[in-house]
Amino acid sequence: MSLSVVIPVLNGASDLPLTLASVAEADEIVVVDGGSTDGSAALAETLGATVITSPRGRGEQLRRGAAAVKGPWLLFLHADTRLEPGWRAAAEAFMAQHAGRAAVFRFALDDTDWRARWLEAAVAARTRAFALPYGDQGLLIHRELYDAVGGFAALPLMEDVDLVRRIGRRRLVALPVKAVTSSRRWRADGWLRRSARNLLCLLMFRLGAPIERIARVYGR
């Protein structure tokens, strides 16, 4: 049950040490750099990861990472997200039984603000009700299922929503381990404003809006 971790990064040097340390139990870690100017690639190599380069765009970076790794099990993780201790045991228990399904972790934020707890509860409810987790929750999937559903599309954002929709509700499992994400975006933009913007982008994507327009709304 060899497990390979794929982490797309763009100027994420401040987050990489904690993220990479959290997944040190993985059999292989590949960081896909999309043109960082803050030394992310060199730092990742120093910390023991294999680094490959890619054009900027998280979907394309994830695609290239998936093609580069060797393991039959793939774990996709954002550069500003770290898994809590115990993740490998939970992953192995899942992998032993569910090659035909995919899994995500519990969404959590590294903030003591009560609004962080509210958002965590809202994301948990969204995951249960609609099988639409945040990309910040990671994605654990066997390569056969990943290939069968077509893998990540080369999208600059919403690549996570696009893929989990193709995986489908019945093949998606939530693991009882937290994926702790930086709350930087919510603190910078405002808790309500960032959450509302994320929801608007999701609705626009579901309604078929051009991805370039969604990216402008999101702030890219």
In order of their start, the domains of the chain are 3-185 (3.90.550.10)
Give residue 220's pLDDT. 62
36-52 burial: b if 16+ Cβ within 10 Å, else e: beeebbebbeebebebb
**Tokens 């290239």, residue located:** 64
Task: State pLDDT tens for residues 28-38.
Answer: 999 999 999 99
**Tokens 């994926």, residue located:** 179
Give residue 201's pLDDT. 87
What mean pLDDT comes out for the span 172-185? 94
Strand partners, 103: 140, 173
Q: How many CB atoms lie within 10 A of CB 220?
A: 12
Whether 207 has a pLDDT exceeding 90, the answer reads no
Q: Can you tell me the distance from the alpha carbon of 160 to that of 136, in angstroms, rounded to the nearest whole number?
A: 9
Whether 13 has a pLDDT exceeding 80, the answer reads yes
What mean pLDDT comes out for the span 70-96? 96
What mean pLDDT comes out for the span 3-14? 97
What mean pLDDT comes out for the span 46-61? 96
Give residue 219's pLDDT. 76
Give residue 132's pLDDT. 86
* For the chain, percent of residues with pLDDT exceeding 70: 100
**pTM metric for this prediction:** 0.93
Mean pLDDT of all residues in the chain?
93
- CA 169, distance to chain mean position in Å, is 18
Q: Can you tell me the distance from the alpha carbon of 154 to that of 147, in angstroms, rounded to the nearest whole number?
A: 14
What mean pLDDT comes out for the span 105-115? 96
Helices (H), the chain: 16-22, 40-46, 58-68, 87-95, 114-130, 143-148, 159-167, 184-189, 191-206, 211-218
Count CA atoms within 13 Å of residue 6 on its CB side: 29
Strand partners, 181: 81, 109
What mean pLDDT comes out for the span 196-212? 87
